[in-house]
Amino acid sequence: MATQSPFSLLEDILQKRSFNFQPPVWVVDEVQRRVVLLLNHILMQEKEATRRLARQKGLTVLFQWREFTLQLVATPAGLLDRASPSTSPDLTFTMTEASPMALAQGVMRGDKPAIQIVGDVQLASEVNWLIENVRWDVEEDLSRIVGDAPAHTMGQVARRMVAALREFLARRPGQPSSHGLST
C-alpha cells in the first residue's frame, strides 16, 4: 500500500486553497530591517564586496517572490539600505517558482532558483558577483560568542543535519535519485 508523503500533502493544501498569507505590515518592516542588517554584516567582512557595491551607489535592486518584495539601494559606503517604496528600481529580480515546497526542495538540492532579471546589466553583473563570491562564515561569528571548539562542533552538527535532510529529500518518491550516479 502506497502512502502519501506529508510534504506532498502540505504542498497540495497550500496550492489548492487560495492561501494568501499576508503578515502584518510591522512584521514585514522588521524582517526587512533585520535582513538589511544581516546582509551588511556579511558584506563588511569582504572588502572587495563593499568596494564593488560602492561603485553602484544610489542604484536600487528590487527582489520579488510572489507577494513578498524587498527593495535595496547601494550606499556610498558599499553597503545596503532599504530603498523608498516610491523609487523606481534599476534592477528587478523575480523568482519565478511559485511553490514554496518546490523552491525549498531545489535549494536543498543545491539548485539555484529560476529568476527573471530585468534592468541594468552592469548592476546585475555586480549582484551576481556578490551572490557567487560572498559567503557568511556563521561558524566564525558563532565562535565570537561561544568559543572556537563549541562553534566548530555546532557547525559540524548543522552540516550533518543539512546532509541528512538532503538525503531524505533525494529519497522521496518522484524525486530524481542520486544513487548509482558517479561524479
50 close to 78: Cβ distance less than 8 angstroms = yes
Residues 69 and 156 in one domain: no
95 close to 65: Cβ distance less than 8 angstroms = yes
Burial of 60 (0-12, 13-18, 19+ CB in 10 A): buried
10 close to 101: Cβ distance less than 8 angstroms = yes
Residues 125 and 156 in one domain: no
Structure-model confidence comparison of residues 134 and 177, the more confident one: 134
* Residue 110: inside a domain: yes
Residues 129 and 43 in one domain: yes
Residues 71 and 158 in one domain: no
Residue 175: is its pLDDT beyond 70? no
Q: Distance of CA 147 to CAs 142, 144, 150, 154, 180, Å?
A: 7, 6, 6, 11, 41
Residues 146 and 84 in one domain: no
Cα separation, 129 vs 108, in Å, equals 22
Up-side HSE of residue 37: CA atoms within 13 Å toward CB? 6
**Based on the structure, what is the number of domains in the chain?**
2
Domain that residue 160 falls in: 137-176
The pTM of this model reads: 0.70
* Residue 60: inside a domain: yes
Amino acid of residue 150: P
Q: Which residues contact 25 (CB under 8 A, 6 or more apart)?
A: none
Residues 115 and 126 in one domain: yes
Residues 110 and 157 in one domain: no
* Residue 109: inside a domain: yes
Residues 95 and 109 in one domain: yes
Q: Tell me the average pLDDT across 74-79.
A: 96
* Residue 6: inside a domain: no
* 3-class SS of residue 171: coil
pLDDT of the residue at 180: 43
Residues 130 and 149 in one domain: no
Owner of C-alpha cell 557568511: 136
Q: Is 182 left (phi over 0), alpha (psi -120 to 50) or beta?
A: beta
When pLDDT is cut at 50, 70 and 90, the band that residue 129 belongs to is very high
Cα separation, 15 vs 174, in Å, equals 18
* Residue 166: inside a domain: yes
**Beta 80-82 vs 91-95: how paired, if at all?**
unpaired
Which CATH number belongs to the domain containing residue 69 in this structure? 3.30.1050
Residues 94 and 149 in one domain: no
Residues 143 and 125 in one domain: no
Residues 126 and 145 in one domain: no
* Residue 17: inside a domain: no
* Residue 13: inside a domain: no
pLDDT of the residue at 179: 46
Q: Tell me the average pLDDT across 79-102.
A: 91
Q: Tell me the average pLDDT across 32-57.
A: 94
When pLDDT is cut at 50, 70 and 90, the band that residue 17 belongs to is low
Structure-model confidence comparison of residues 149 and 30, the more confident one: 30
Grid cell at residue 8: 506532498
